[in-house]
Amino acid sequence: EHIMSKDVIIACDFSSKEEVMNFLDKFQEEKPFLKIGMELFYAEGPEIVREIKKRGHKIFLDLKLHDIPNTVKKSMAVLSRLDVDMCNLHAAGSSKMMEAAIEGLTKPDGTRNTMLIAVTQLTSTTEEVMQEDLLIEKPLPEVVMHYAANAKKAGLDGVVCSPLEAAIVHEKCGDEFMTVTPGIRFAGADAQDQKRITTPEDARTKGSDFIVVGRPITKAEDPQAAYERCIREFLGE
């Protein structure tokens, strides 16, 4: 019931309302799907979500909840009132926590308007870090797939993963299980601090459902043109 069509999500990694509104004013007709993360949410609070929603944007609220099941359930119940389109949590919080999150997001009448996706391992976590720092001894791809399977079983709608993993996630968890993939750069652009980068076109062929794009759009000379290019390349239009 939560299947949305494929889309480009712009990561609004700004630290104030003023910055984000200045950025959004650069779009004439379009109302891009936006990701609001911790930085902006902690700076401006839930009001910024309401305001951006009023402007007609879909919102992915990227707060990555991870706590005891009861706390996550209650927090998700509060977030459900914001009626965002997508939110997330850490799969590492356990299956019980993920089930509690779904309960919290579900309205008293049994409907749930917000897609819930899980972060398996952060893109900044290497296998070495995972094994030596977190004492998770299995290979990284195995851990990612196991967490994705747990998320599906708990009733979640998908995972955040690298475009390189999107195909395997779909293979293991089905085509309806969403893959939301960051780490996107245009062909020919500087990779900046990302090790493994993928172009919008690559992400499409690898089976990503949503790509999350930050600096290539937010730091572009012409953000609207960069966004349109992204849409063209990702949706193949």
pLDDT band at 124 (very low <50, low <70, confident <90, very high): confident
Lowest-confidence range among 41-55, 78-92, 195-209? 195-209
Q: Express as a percent the part of the chain with pLDDT over 70.
A: 95
How high is the pLDDT of residue 163? 87
How high is the pLDDT of residue 106? 97
pLDDT surpasses 70 at 194: no
Give me the chain's average pLDDT, please. Answer: 94
How high is the pLDDT of residue 117? 98
How high is the pLDDT of residue 195? 57
Residue whose tokens read 């379009």: 30
pLDDT surpasses 80 at 2: no
Over range 168-184, report the average pLDDT.
95
Beta bridge partners of 118: 89, 159
Over range 133-162, report the average pLDDT.
96
Told to judge if 64 belongs to the known catalytic residues of this protein, a careful annotator would answer yes
How high is the pLDDT of residue 192? 56
How high is the pLDDT of residue 159? 98
pTM of the model: 0.94
Q: What is the CA radius of gyration of the chain?
A: 17
The alpha carbon of 63 is separated from its chain's Cα centroid by a whole number of angstroms, namely: 10
b/e map 99-108, b = 16+ CB within 10 Å: bbbbebbbee
How high is the pLDDT of residue 157? 98
Residue of 6, 64, 73, 195 marked active site:
64
Whole-number Å distance between alpha carbons of 156 and 190: 35
